Amino acid sequence: MQFEVLATCHTTRARVSRMKLAHGVTLLPTFMPVATQAAIKGLTAQQMESLGVTLILNNTYHLNLRPGIKILNEIGGAHKFQGWNRNLLTDSGGFQLVSLNKFTTITEEGALFQDPFTGEPTMLTPEESMSIQHAIGGDIVMQLDDVVPSLTTGPRVGEAMQRSVRWLDRCIEFHQKSGRDESQNLFAIVQGGLDPELRKQCLEQMVQRKDRIAGFAIGGLSGGEAKDIFWRTIKQCTEGLPADRPRYAMGVGFAEDLLVCVALGIDMADCVFPTRTARFGVALTFNGPLNLKLKKHSHDLKPIEEGCPCPTCSSGTSRALLHHTITIETAAAHTVTMHNLVFQARLMGGARDAILAGTFPEYLRKFFEDYYGDSGYPQWCCDALKSVGVDLLEGLEKPKVVQGDGARWEYAVDQ
């Protein structure tokens, strides 16, 4: 990997970097769409490429079950299997072991889980995870970590963090011995739950191993924790991570979360949100999400968002047509999915341009005004951005601020 920071924001911790991997260049900060089963829902690899996406994510756990390593090895990896010739990141499979399997037990050796096919106890070790990810062939591979649900408290959190560090060593060892470390780049995952002390210890230990690690991810968040704790944890981690390595916030996908993370120094993020929400009829815009199922869109001949370059908006596909078809025709889901992915890409692309131009604070203010001006600024966003020198409310008369998560939804209330 070649990683180069091109510019940093004069006020916040945001930065623009150029990351060159085996399948091309990806500019950071970026959002990574999730192709869980080796396909972005409903789209082809060529369509994804035409949207200007250069880095997607595959899930190791799922690809290991199907098509399985034997098939991936035969065809020569997941890139060839899905016809994708840009960059690819694979997770370690650890998260799904915990989220999808009730009976997973973690031992020092690895994660012991019930094989979903046979029901037999099976072990996923750090070495095994690496080996599977080598077969998949992602340009970025993730260490196996000991994942605990975000809201877990007590000694288990510390134990999981320490084990994640030990597993990282085993992953590094196996990865370097395999000789795959030339083309595939291993990322560590900082754990430690919501406890600043544990995060601090984890950061220290992992950063010590920096020379053998291509980048760092922040795990254990986006699991229902309070937003106030979320941003503080992100901030603590980005401050503790080295500047010459990319930083990846796992499972982050809401527009406001992404921009806050970028301002705190995050370079990469992934989430199923934009693609999943598209299938449920929600289109993302800079004025907030639109629920296309609402009757108020039934005769609206405007596109989802004027000026959006996505194939859906640039062809003039109307909200009315999408209202008529969404959740009924698969093609409507594809149409909104393309728009939502372009929205995410524009959001991050806009951030890159603003950071380069030295106008990122203005970009943040403009985004939040358009997105939340009517419904109220989330308190946590104001706090998070203030901590890096941007006051969203500056100069506003009687700004409306709301507590809580502040996710802005066009609720499914029909007029």
Partner 1 sequence: MIRLSRMGPPRLTFSASPLPSSSPSSSHFNPRLGCLTLQRDDATKSTIKIATPGLLTTASRGFIPHLSRDHVNSTAAIRWVNIPFETFLERVPPVPTTLKDSLHPLHDFFKYDTSKHIVCLQARDPIDSRDMPSNGRDHLSVRCIRGVRKLRISDWNFYASSTYPDVVVALSDIPFTPPPHSQKRINKSLERSTQWLLDSLSPVPPNPEDRPNLLVHLVGGINPSARQAFSQALTETLFGAEAHRVKPLKNLDDAITGYTFDLVPLRKALKWDTAADNTLVHLIQTSLESLPFGKPRIVNSVRGPQDILRLISATGVDLFDSQWAVELATFGVALDFTFPVPSSPTGPPLTRIRDNGKTDIGHNLYDGKYATDFNRLSTLFLDGQSKSSTPTPTSVTATKQRWCPCAACSPVSPLIQLKHSQTDEHVPDPSIPLEYRPAYTRAYIHHLLHTHEMSAHALLTMHNLSVVDHFFADILDTLERDGVDKFVQEVRKFRDWYDDDVVGDDTEDLGEAGEVEVAGGILGREAKSDWVSVDKARGKGRLAREKEKTGTAVLEEAEVV
By CB under 8 A, what part of segment 31-70 binds partner 1? 37-47, 49-52, 54, 62, 64-70
Q: Please, what is the minimum distance in Å from the beta carbon of residue 51 to partner 1? A: 6
Q: Please, what is the minimum distance in Å from the beta carbon of residue 6 to partner 1? A: 7
User: How far is CA 72 from each of CA 61, 89, 136, 176, rounded to the nearest angstrom?
Assistant: 13, 15, 6, 21
Nearer to partner 1, 247 or 334 (CB): 334
Binding mask 113-152 for partner 1 (x = CB under 8 A): --xxxxx--x-x---x---x--------------------
- Does 272 bind partner 1 (CB under 8 A)? Our answer is no
Q: Which of these segments, 23-31, 174-182, 193-201, 225-233, binds partner 1 (CB under 8 A)?
A: 23-31
7, two tokens: 């510019």
Compute the distance between CA of residue 336 and CA of residue 280 in angstroms, rounded to an integer: 10
DSSP code per residue over 364-396: HHHHHHHHHTTT-EEHHHHHHHHTTT--TTTT-
Compute the distance between CA of residue 312 and CA of residue 340 in angstroms, rounded to an integer: 10
Nearer to partner 1, 203 or 338 (CB): 338
- Does 287 bind partner 1 (CB under 8 A)? Our answer is no
Strand 111-114 and strand 24-28: pairing? unpaired
Asked if omega into 29 is within 30° of 0 (cis), the reply is yes
Active site residue 383: no
Helix, strand, coil shares, percent, the chain, to 5: 45, 15, 40
Q: Please, what is the minimum distance in Å from the beta carbon of residue 131 to partner 1? A: 9
User: For partner 1, which residue of 14, 148, 263, 321 counts as binding (CB under 8 A)?
Assistant: 321
User: How far is CA 377 from each of CA 228, 238, 343, 399, 402, rounded to the nearest angstrom?
Assistant: 14, 24, 20, 8, 6
Nearer to partner 1, 176 or 315 (CB): 315
User: For partner 1, which residue of 4, 6, 153, 239 counts as binding (CB under 8 A)?
Assistant: 6
Q: Which of residues 77-116 bind partner 1 (CB under 8 A)?
A: 80-83, 85-86, 115-116
- Does 3 bind partner 1 (CB under 8 A)? Our answer is no
- Does 18 bind partner 1 (CB under 8 A)? Our answer is yes
Q: Which of these segments, 172-180, 333-341, 358-366, 382-390, binds partner 1 (CB under 8 A)?
A: 333-341
User: For partner 1, which residue of 342, 364, 385, 392 counts as binding (CB under 8 A)?
Assistant: 342
Compute the distance between CA of residue 110 and CA of residue 131 in angstroms, rounded to an integer: 14
CA neighbours closer than 13 Å in the CB half-sphere of residue 80:
10
Q: Please, what is the minimum distance in Å from the beta carbon of residue 62 to partner 1? A: 7
Nearer to partner 1, 264 or 332 (CB): 332
User: For partner 1, which residue of 287, 315, 412, 414 counts as binding (CB under 8 A)?
Assistant: 315
Q: Strand, coil or helix: what is 309?
A: coil
Burial per residue of 129-156, b for 16 or more beta-carbon CB atoms within 10 angstroms, e otherwise = bbebbbbbbbbbbbbbbbbbebeeeeee
Closest CA to 370 of 350, 342, 341: 350
Nearer to partner 1, 122 or 379 (CB): 122
Nearer to partner 1, 227 or 352 (CB): 352
Q: Please, what is the minimum distance in Å from the beta carbon of residue 219 to partner 1? A: 21
What are phi and psi for residue 28, nearest 5 degrees? Answer: -115, 150
Instruction: List the catalytic residue out of 91, 139, 257, 267.
Output: 91
Asked if omega into 67 is within 30° of 0 (cis), the reply is yes
Instruction: List the catalytic residue out of 139, 145, 146, 270.
Output: 270
Angle of CA points 94, 182, 70, to nearest 5° = 50
Residue 344 gets the label, from left (phi > 0), alpha (psi -120 to 50) or beta, of alpha
Q: Please, what is the minimum distance in Å from the beta carbon of residue 385 to partner 1? A: 21
**How many residues bind to partner 1 according to rule CB under 8 A?**
81
Q: Which of residues 343-382 bind partner 1 (CB under 8 A)?
A: 345-346, 348-350, 352-353, 356
Compute the distance between CA of residue 255 and CA of residue 363 in angstroms, rounded to an integer: 13
Compute the distance between CA of residue 121 and CA of residue 104 in angstroms, rounded to an integer: 9
Active site residue 228: no
User: For partner 1, which residue of 25, 151, 226, 412 counts as binding (CB under 8 A)?
Assistant: 25
Question: What residues are annotated to the active site?
Answer: 91, 270
